[in-house]
Amino acid sequence: MYQVLISINLTNSIFYMMRFLLLSSLLFINFSISAGIIFSQDEHFKTVSSSTVLKDTLFRNYEFPQVDIIGTSPGLINRVPGSAVLITLNQLKMTNPVNGNEVFRKVSGINAVDEEGIGLRTNIGIRGLDPDRSRTVLMLEDGVPVSLAPYGEPEMYYTPAMDRMNGIEILKGSGSILFGPQTIGGVVNYLTADPPGVQSTSFKIRGGENGFFTGQMSYGNTFGNVGAMINYLHKQADNLGTLNFSVNDITGKMKFELGEKSMLGLKLSFYDETSNSTYIGLTQNMYDSGEYYEIIAPYDKLNIKRYSASITHDYNISNSVLLRTTAFGYTTVRNWLRQDFSRTRVSNPVAVFGDTSAAGGAIYMRNSTGNRDRQFEVGGIEPRIYSKYSIGKTLNELEGGLRFLFERANEQRINGKKANAESGDLTEDEVRTGYAYTAFVQNRTYLSDKFSVTPGLRLESFMYEREINRLNSRDTLITAENKIFSVIPGIGLNYDINNRYTFFAGIHRGFAPPRIKDAITNGGEALELDAELSWNSELGMRINIADGLDVELTGYLLNFSNQIIPISESSGGNGTGLVNGGETRHIGLETGVTVDLGKLFKSKYNFIISSAGTFSSSEYSADRFITSGSETVNINGNKLPYAPDFMLANSFEIISPFGLSVLLSAKYTGQQFTNELNTVEPSANGETGLMPSFTIYDVTGRYRLSSLNTTFYLSVKNFTNERYIASRRPQGIKTGLPAILTAGFDWNF
C-alpha cells in the first residue's frame, strides 16, 4: 500500500515566494516607469479611463500580428483540411501541469517521453515517429521556429515553458505543408499571451516537495495605439527525482497600430537554464533492486542561454488581401559538461554503480570530463499573403509566401582532466552553415457552402556546409558541402455541415532534411544522405452531435520511402549520426470524445468526461538486414522503436457553480520496443529491452475566489506513485517522477 507524501518544506517555499515577489515587483515598477516615459510623450498615446471608452476598448480587436496554424476563433478548426487540436488557456489552467508532457499526453496520436520529469526538453513523436528531441515535429512559438537549427539540427534542447502559454495548436494533416521544413510528423505551435486591451496584472505562485517552486509575474496594458506586455517566469527545484535546476524566462511583446491598414508586432525573449541534466541512466540491476533515483553523474551540468527577437508587420492591402511579413532571429548557447564513464572496468574510478559481476551491468565514473559547447544562430524573413477572391460564384481563400532562412552551428569539444573541469584541451572544433529558400502556396476553393478542396505546394531548397577546423586534437581544415531540393505537394478535402458534422480527408508529402553533421562525415565526405520522405494520408470526421457532445475519429496511413533512423547519442546510439532506414509504414486510428453532461442536461454543475485513444501499428515494411552478434537479422515486419501500439488518456472534470473544480485524469501508454531488433529481454546496461506499459493518475483541484480575483490550486501528480521506465535512452534507464504534490495560487488584478 502506497502512502503519498504530502509534506511541503514551508520555510523554503516562503523564502522562494518572498524572493520572487520582490524581484517581480522590481520588474513591474521598472516596466511601469518605462511605459510611463514612453507613452506620456504624446497626447495621442495617453491612457484613457472613461467608462464609455473603456467599454469600447474591451471589444476592440487586439489580436497580435503573428502566424497561427489554426486560429482561435470558434469554428475555425472545422475548416482545417485534416486532423487538428486546439488546447485552450482554460484547459491548461485546469490541468495545472508540472511539465508540458502532461498536456501532450492528452492528445491522441502523440507519444510524449519523459527525460528528466519536468519537461525541460520535450520529446514527442506523432503517429509512431521517433520522439527523440522532437526532431520529427515542427516546433513553433507564435509561428516562429524554436529548435536549435530548424533544418540542420532540429532538436529541442530548449523547450518553451508550458507555464507561460495561452494555448497550443497542433496540426497533423495536409495543412502542415504551409509550414516547414519538417512536414512528416505535424506542427506544434505554442501560443503566448498578447498585450491586453486594458491594464492587467497577474501573479502565479506554486510550491512543492524537494524545493520545487514556480513563480510568474505578468503585466500588460494598451496606451492609445500601443499595447505592451511583459512576463517573467522563474522555476527551480533542489532534488526533483534526480534533477536540480534553475530557470529564468522573460518574454515581452509590443503592438503598434500604425494606421487603419498597418500594424506592427515586436516580441523579445530571454531564457536562462542551469541544470544537472545527464545522459546517464540506471542499469537494469539498479532499477530492479529498487534504486529508483540515483544521481550517478553529480558533476554533469547543462547551461542554456537563448536570446530571440521577432517582428511582424501586417498590411491590409484591401478588405480581402493581407500581407504579413515576419522577420526573426535567435541564438542559443548550449554548453554541457558531462563526466566521462565506462561500461567496462577501469583503474581508479571516481565511483562505481550497478552490478560489477554482469558484463555491461556497471557504470565506472572517470575523473575526467567532456565539455560539449555549442552555439546556434538562426535568422529568417517570411512574407505571407492571405487573400479572399472569387472566380464567378466560387469563393477562394489563398495563403502563400516565401522564406529565406540562415542557420549556423559552432561546436567545440573540450576535454577536462577532472570530473568537474570546465576547461581543458580543445579536441574538436567545427562550423556548420545552412541556407534555405522556400516557397509555398495553398488555395481553399469552396465548391459549395459546405464542401471545399484545398490543394497546396511547398518547394524546399537547402544548401549546407560543414567546416572542420580541429579533429582528435589535431588542427585541420576539412570543408564539404551539399544541397537538396524537394517538391512537397498536398491536397485536403473538407465537408462541413452546419459546424456539427465535418468530414475531412487529405494526403501530402512528408519531408525532413538530413542533419548537416550526419550528412557530411568527419572526413569531409558527403554521404548523399537522402531527405526523409513519406506520403501521409488521413480520413476522419468531427461531430458535434449536440451542445456538450463532441466526437472525432481519424484514420491515418504514413508510408515512408526512406525513414531516417537516428543513432546519435541522444537516441542511444554511438554518436555517429543517422542512417537511411528504408521503408516503414504507420497505420492507425485516433479517437476523441468529450461529453459535457452539464450542457446536455442544463445543469448548474458541469460534469465533463473526455477520452483520447490511439490504436496504431508502426513497422519496417521492406527488407533491411542488421548484424547482431554472429547473426544477420532481417527486421522487415519489426516494430519501430518507441512507438506504442496503444495509448489512452481519460479525464473526468467536475465544475461547480460556487468556484470549486476537480479534475481526475489517467494516461495509459502501452509497451514499447526500444531497438530495431525488438529485443524483449533487457540488457544489463538498461539501454535495450521491452519497456512495459504504465498508467499515470493525476488529480487537480482548484477554487476560484471571485471577490479577490484569485484561484487556488492543489495537485497531486502520479498520485498512485507508479514506478515505471520512461525511457531506456540515451545511456540507461530513465524513470518517471514519483508522486509529487504542489499547491499555489493565481492572482489577477
Q: How many domains, in total, are found in the chain?
A: 1
* 688 vs 524: CA distance, rounded Å: 32
Least confident of 430-439, 464-473, 516-525: 516-525
Beta strands in 150-260 (DSSP E): 165-171, 187-192, 200-208, 213-223, 226-240, 243-257
Domain assignment of residue 429, yes or no: yes
pLDDT tens-digit profile of 303-347?
999 999 999 999 999 999 999 999 999 999 999 999 999 999 998
Grid coordinates in use for 93? 489552467
Which alpha helices (DSSP H) does 40-75 contain, by range? Answer: 51-58
Q: How many CB atoms lie within 10 A of CB 30?
A: 11
What is the largest distance, in Å, between two alpha-carbon atoms of the chain? Answer: 83
Is 316 in a helix, a strand, or coil?
A: strand
Domain assignment of residue 3, yes or no: no
Burial code (b: 16+ CB inside 10 Å, e: under 16) for 651-682 equals bebbbeeeeebbbebbbbbbebbbbbebeeeb
pLDDT at position 77, please? 72
pLDDT at position 495, please? 92
Alpha-carbon torsion angle 142, 147, 148, 149, nearest 10? -90
Domain assignment of residue 685, yes or no: yes
The whole-angstrom distance between residue 683's C-alpha and the CA centroid of its chain comes to: 30
Does pLDDT of 461 surpass 70?
A: yes
* 667 vs 649: CA distance, rounded Å: 4
* 124 vs 137: CA distance, rounded Å: 8
Query: For 737, which DSSP code?
Result: P
Higher pLDDT, 510 or 478: 510
Does pLDDT of 569 surpass 60?
A: no
Domain assignment of residue 4, yes or no: no
* 615 vs 450: CA distance, rounded Å: 30
Cβ-contact 452, 494 below 8 angstroms? yes
Spatial CA neighbour of 190 closest among 162, 222, 221, 214: 162
pLDDT at position 498, please? 79
Q: What is the mean pLDDT of residues 714-724?
A: 93
Q: Give me the residue label for grid cell 488555395.
A: 443
Q: Which residues, including other chains, have CB under 8 Å from residue 453's CB and lie 6 or more apart?
A: 444, 445, 447, 491, 492, 493, 494
Residues above pLDDT 70, as percent of the chain: 86
Domain assignment of residue 5, yes or no: no
CATH code for position 478:
2.40.170.20
pLDDT at position 478, please? 83
Least confident of 138-142, 239-243, 313-317: 239-243
pLDDT at position 323, please? 96
Cβ-contact 508, 534 below 8 angstroms? no
Domain assignment of residue 617, yes or no: yes
Q: Which residues, including other chains, have CB under 8 Å from residue 192's CB and lie 6 or more apart?
A: 141, 142, 160, 164, 165, 166, 231, 251, 253, 267
Does pLDDT of 402 surpass 60?
A: yes
Spatial CA neighbour of 188 closest among 308, 81, 87: 87
C-alpha dist (Å) from residue 277 to 51, 174, 336, 473: 52, 36, 9, 27
pLDDT at position 40, please? 34
Q: What is the mean pLDDT of residues 479-487?
A: 87
pLDDT at position 581, please? 62
Higher pLDDT, 3 or 632: 632
Q: What is the mean pLDDT of residues 203-213?
A: 93
Q: What is the mean pLDDT of residues 507-527?
A: 72
Q: Give me the residue label for grid cell 524537394.
A: 486
Higher pLDDT, 276 or 33: 276
Domain assignment of residue 1, yes or no: no
Higher pLDDT, 609 or 7: 609
* 534 vs 621: CA distance, rounded Å: 13
Pairing of strands 124-126, 110-112: antiparallel
Q: What is the mean pLDDT of residues 528-549?
A: 85
Show the domain range for 562.
10-748
Higher pLDDT, 427 or 577: 427
pLDDT tens-digit profile of 58-72?
333 447 888 888 876
C-alpha dist (Å) from residue 5 to 366, 721, 741: 36, 10, 8
Per-residue confidence band for 545, with pLDDT thresholds at 50, 70 and 90: confident
Per-residue confidence band for 399, with pLDDT thresholds at 50, 70 and 90: very high
Does pLDDT of 356 surpass 60?
A: yes
Does pLDDT of 548 surpass 80?
A: yes
pLDDT tens-digit profile of 91-105?
999 888 988 899 999
Highest-confidence segment of 517-531, 563-577, 581-595: 581-595
